[in-house]
Structure 1
Amino acid sequence: MNQLALEAASGALRLYKQETWLMLTGLLGFLLAGICGVWVLLHGGPVSPDGDVSKAFSFNAALGIFILSTASILPVSGMRPRSQSIYRCSYIPLVLFSYFAETVQHFRGVDPRFVQNGSSFDHVISTIFPAVALLLVVFYLILGAQYFRKRVIDAHPELGLGIRYAMIAVLVSFAAGIWISVNAGRYTGIGGNIIWLHGLGFHALQAIPLVAWLSMRKSVNAAVKPIIIHISGLAYIFGLIAIGWQTLLGYSVAEWSLLPILAGSCFLVAFTPVIWLISQSNALAEPYNRTQYTRNL
């Protein structure tokens, strides 16, 4: 287990070293979340008239995790160095503006998305914010499409397959985000909360590639590896569908009914391969394969 943790840390450092600026952008989200968290502990979340620093805390932390996850998978996208550079230089400013709008506006007592009786500055920010969010989606769709190319699977069979499922889940999250904007809020129906669907979809970026990475590091039959990843990926997506259906009906995902129980069962199935893979012995990687993997990264 300790050896596995060391290998994971070493692999993560190799990947992040290639995407230093994206990594720093993600860490900035955690720094801002920490500042917001301290404020909430000392003064509470609400800021008159319409701000809520607790929302800025959750937003910055979630976006930080999202960017760090993106930094870890970008090197295996198959994009050429110039294309990666263009993508990085385009995406980071959009993320920085999102941090700024969400944090500064909530501290000023303004909802950055839905301004009521605000200043001209507030209305400008609320107008730009949806456009920035849309660009974040568009650029990520471009990135996601790269993993469905044959050359990515040829170079990284397990990781490529896992990231493909993660990207499908991210599409569900983006759809939920658009739903929140159209709905003018996260709540729907009697007890529905769209934010659960929005957040859990993004966490597929950590969950499913983890299964793929573990399958590479463990002594598992080569024919079994894609099956494990398919099971994990499909179960995760079916879990999201169940949550989305429950939310669309306007009910809470915390109630004891068919769809939430089905969603919980799907997520349990999705994470079961992690437990099973950890229990397996480490693979004896051939020098050539290890070198090839490092070169591809």
Structure 2
Amino acid sequence: MMETKPAAKFFEGEKWLVLTGLLGFLLAGLCALWIMLYGAEVSPEGDMSKAFSFNAALGIFLISTAAISPLSAMKARSRAFFRWSYIILALYSYFAENVQNFRGVNPRFVKDGSAFDIMVGSLFAFVALLLVLYYLFLAIQYFRRKAYNLRPELVLGIRYAMIATMLSFAAGIWISVNQGRFVGLHGNIIWLHGLGFHALQAVPLVAWLTERTELAASVRRRWIHLTGIAYLLGLAAIGWQTLLGSSIMEWSVLPLLACGCFLIAMASGAQMLLQSTKARHRQSFSGRS
């Protein structure tokens, strides 16, 4: 029989963090409407398409964080400190990204801007650093025994997701130091930056599916390890290709390796979905017998 466990309490107590994430989707929708009516470029340096992608990405990131935050085993006071700190930092990030692009100013790399623009850009860089540091505080919680004992498989998947997230943050810092996303002739750091964050959805999802299978605990963990390691190797290949100044779209060893790794991670998810579906059908059949 499949082990019975209490349902994972995703999002528990994180209404305000979820709403802050949904705000990102609302702002992304407004940016999309603006782009359809007036185009993306706002003279001299603004780009509403970048504001659109930033809003959507931050929204997904906040909602994903809200989902797994209850599984960190942090005390209520610590969770509240993280939650409200992150909400404040996210709100400022929305403000800087949208207002400055709307005003025709690059919010990160200000050129010939006013004192206000320089202040907003400098504070934006400081806020970005705080977002990394606060998230590192959250990530550490999942590597403690207390969190692991709550939901071993799920927390194991979250651990891999947190490592990938730190790689994404490192790529973000790389963009800042590099004064832009492009490296060499064709390298683009944004791919590493974006794909790393999507581990927050991908790897924990596979781990969640393993809990709903009839596989032995040791076998479940192997599938999660396979998924997490494949995802991290895919990110490493993308990072290396970018460092070489080459596009990840070209037909060469590193992009093909990255593609193969992500396909392995996807195949693991598909296999766990199949196994969990079979287990649910067996339980349903047994219940009717």
Whether contact under 8 Å (2:196, 2:235) holds in the other structure is yes
Is residue 78 from structure 1 mapped to residue 69 from structure 2 by the alignment? no
Shift of 1:95: 0.4
Q: Which residue number corresponds to residue 24 of structure 2?
A: 29
CA distance in 1, matches of 2:21, 2:107: 21
Selected match of 1:185 from 180, 183, 196 = 180
CA distance in 2, matches of 1:218, 1:259: 34
Shift of 1:104: 0.7
Selected match of 2:91 from 93, 96, 111 = 96
Q: Which residue number corresponds to residue 275 of structure 1?
A: 270
Is residue 16 from structure 1 mapped to residue 11 from structure 2 by the alignment? yes
Shift of 1:153: 1.1
Q: Which residue number corresponds to residue 194 of structure 2?
A: 199
CA distance in 1, matches of 2:19, 2:108: 26
Structure 2, unaligned runs of 5 or more: 1-6, 284-289
Q: Which residue number corresponds to residue 171 of structure 2?
A: 176
Is residue 148 from structure 1 mapped to residue 143 from structure 2 by the alignment? yes
Shift of 1:285: 11
Give the TM-score of the pair, scaled to structure 2.
0.92
Q: Structure 1 runs of 4+ off > 6 angstroms? A: none
Selected match of 1:230 from 225, 229, 234 = 225
Deviation digits for residues 86-123 of structure 1, max 9, x if unmatched? Answer: 11111110000001100110011000011112121111
Shift of 1:143: 0.3
The secondary structure found in structure 2 opposite 1:282 is helix
Matched to 2:205, the amino acid is: L
Matched to 1:49, the amino acid is: P
Whether contact under 8 Å (1:19, 1:71) holds in the other structure is yes
Q: Which residue number corresponds to residue 115 of structure 1?
A: 110
Selected match of 1:249 from 241, 244, 253 = 244
Matched to 1:282, the amino acid is: A
CA distance in 2, matches of 1:282, 1:65: 30
More divergent stretch after superposition (221-230 vs 45-54) = 221-230
Shift of 1:15: 2.4
- Is the alpha carbon distance of 1:17 and 1:124 closer, same or farther for their aligned partners in structure 2, counting shifts above 3 Å? same
Shift of 1:263: 0.2
The secondary structure found in structure 1 opposite 2:211 is helix
Whether contact under 8 Å (2:11, 2:69) holds in the other structure is no
Deviation digits for residues 154-213 of structure 1, max 9, x if unmatched? Answer: 111011100000000011101100000000000010100000000000000000000000
Amino-acid identity (%): 60
Whether contact under 8 Å (1:163, 1:208) holds in the other structure is yes
Q: Which residue number corresponds to residue 161 of structure 1?
A: 156
Is residue 212 from structure 1 mapped to residue 207 from structure 2 by the alignment? yes
The secondary structure found in structure 1 opposite 2:51 is helix
Selected match of 1:221 from 216, 229, 237 = 216
The secondary structure found in structure 1 opposite 2:248 is coil
Selected match of 1:39 from 34, 41, 45 = 34
Matched to 2:116, the amino acid is: F
CA distance in 2, matches of 1:273, 1:220: 14
Q: Alpha carbon RMSD of aligned pairs, Å?
A: 1.5
- Is the alpha carbon distance of 1:133 and 1:285 closer, same or farther for their aligned partners in structure 2, counting shifts above 3 Å? farther
Matched to 1:252, the amino acid is: S
Matched to 1:92, the amino acid is: I
Whether contact under 8 Å (1:219, 1:284) holds in the other structure is no
- Is the alpha carbon distance of 1:259 and 1:163 closer, same or farther for their aligned partners in structure 2, counting shifts above 3 Å? same
CA distance in 1, matches of 2:268, 2:230: 11
Structure 1, unaligned runs of 5 or more: 1-10, 287-297
Give the TM-score of the pair, scaled to structure 1.
0.90
